[in-house]
A and B are shown apart, each in its own frame.
Chain A
Amino acid sequence: MNEVMTRREAETLFPNEWVLMDNTEPVTDGNYRGRVLAHGKDKTEILRQAKGQTLPREVVVFFTGPVVPPGMKVLL
């Protein structure tokens, strides 16, 4: 997973997953661009797994699907 991609591309490749990406090229439009360091359905798991690796200091974590699943109501 050394290929540099954008957040939009990651959303297409890894639908409804959590993505950990390096963030060494900060953007202002939210369309992050970097290497995908980890991805998966379980946010806790990808963060735990990535913790054991050598990572860049600046990273971004985002979910590629809708924040609230269709048809779901939320009470925080």
Chain B
Amino acid sequence: MTFPFDPTQGLVIVEAKIAGPTNNVVVHLALDTGATNTFLDEALLAFAGYTPADATSQFEVLTASGTIRVLEVPVTSFMALGQTRTSFPIQAHSFPPGTGHDGVLGLLGLDFLRGHVLTIDFIKGEITLDPGTPAGPGVTP
């Protein structure tokens, strides 16, 4: 399944949908292969109905400007690029204005992409995320 994006923008923006206890919210995230995990603005998680009591873990995250501490919240359902994950762990973080995240509410990170084939066509402005085959090093197809 192929999804369009604007290859002329500064970031690769993809649509995602988070299902929460009170609201299901469609948002735009920056595709970030430099992020190990998927991050959402904590205000968005709160809006969807999650509270700090829903967090199952707390982690330190290394950023370009230092180390921060985030709560990990497993969300009921998370959809992006035609894939749906249930009980998907989301890192809750505040993205203040002026930090380069002004137009996005989070980052789609590597944890969502692993085990799949990601194709980004900057000529056509198309992204495809296909289920992969287990053919990595040490794995017999």
Contacts and interface: CB of A to CB of B under 8 A. Distances in A.
Contacts of B103: 63, 65-68
Contacts, number: 84
Q: Main SS of chain A's interface residues?
A: loop
B46 interface: yes
How many of chain B's residues touch chain A, expressed as a range? 20 to 34
Contacts of A55: 23
B88 to A, nearest CB: 19
Contacts of A42: 97
Contact of B24 (A48, A57, A62, A76): A57
Interface of A: 23, 30, 32, 42-44, 47-48, 50-51, 55, 57-63, 65-69, 72-76
Interface of B: 4, 9-11, 13, 15, 22-28, 30, 32, 34-35, 41, 43-44, 46-47, 64, 94, 97, 100-105, 107
